Amino acid sequence: MTTMETHKFSNGLRLILEKLPRCRSTGIAIGFPAGGRNEKAEVSGISHYLEHMIFKGTKTVKNVDTAFELVGANTNAFTEVDSTVYVAECPKENALKTLEMWLEFLSEAAIHPEEFERERGVILSEYFISEDNPDFLVDKNTIVSLFKGHPLASTVIGTEETIKAISHRDMMDYFRLWYHPSNSVIWVSGDLKMDRLISCIEQQGNWTKHG
């Protein structure tokens, strides 16, 4: 039988556990309310750009994908109009390690200026591919028409002009503004105990501090 447990840390961080008895795999999701609707017009697309930069590692870990593969975890992320979410699937026995790694990568992202500039080309390629997709264009034009003048009109990926205009300072300011524990929800699904998850998070000092 599936049951739900919740815990709120004193700094506002929320933890949700969906208990799945006898389940041998674990799902983890860490979300922030940072999406297209939160962006200023001149930096439209910055939430999606930041999502890409998180996978570029920290000062000590250069390849996030390889680090997760070593503990058998499959990872992904997605940016929507109202949120950005980072996810992982892993064996139950590596769940706490996988959670610990995501917490480290999300709080200590290096966002090197050189990597930032290299990734701009990747983002622009995604943009041009999407602009050649009729289904995407129908959805985009419908949303822009329906919500014209409202933050919900965001296309998430931004425009060619805004992608080219976003600066490294813009990115660092946005990262510091939105990526902090009081803004975050951690969701874990699997055969785990709440007290062990709380202990894992508490050991990551950046995630239980205030401010």
Catalogue the E-assigned strands of the chain: 3-8, 14-19, 25-32, 74-79, 84-91, 185-190
Among 59, 52, 70, which Cα is nearest to 174's? 52
pLDDT digits (tens, 9 = 90+) for 76-124: 999 999 999 999 999 999 999 999 999 999 999 999 999 999 999 999 9
Could you read off the pLDDT of 178-196 as tens digits, one per residue?
Answer: 999 999 999 999 999 999 9
> What does the DSSP 8-state code read for residue 133?
-
pLDDT tens digit string along 143-153?
Answer: 889 888 888 88
Least confident of 14-28, 137-151, 165-179, 191-205: 137-151
- Looking at residue 129, its pLDDT comes to 96
pLDDT at position 39 is 94
Question: What does the alpha-carbon distance between residue 54 and residue 181 come to, in Å, rounded to a whole number?
Answer: 16
8 A C-beta contact, residue 100 and residue 54: no
SS3 content of the chain, % helix, strand, coil (to 5): 50, 20, 30
DSSP 3-state of 129: helix
Q: Tens digit of pLDDT for each residue in 24-42?
A: 999 999 999 999 999 999 9
C-alpha span between 185 and 33 (Å, rounded): 9
Q: What percent of the chain has pLDDT over 70?
A: 99
**Residue 3 phi, psi dihedral angles, 5° rounding:** -130, 160
How confident is residue 211, by pLDDT bands cut at 50, 70 and 90? low
- Looking up tokens 């006898």 gives 22
The model's confidence at residue 50, banded by pLDDT at 50, 70 and 90, is: very high
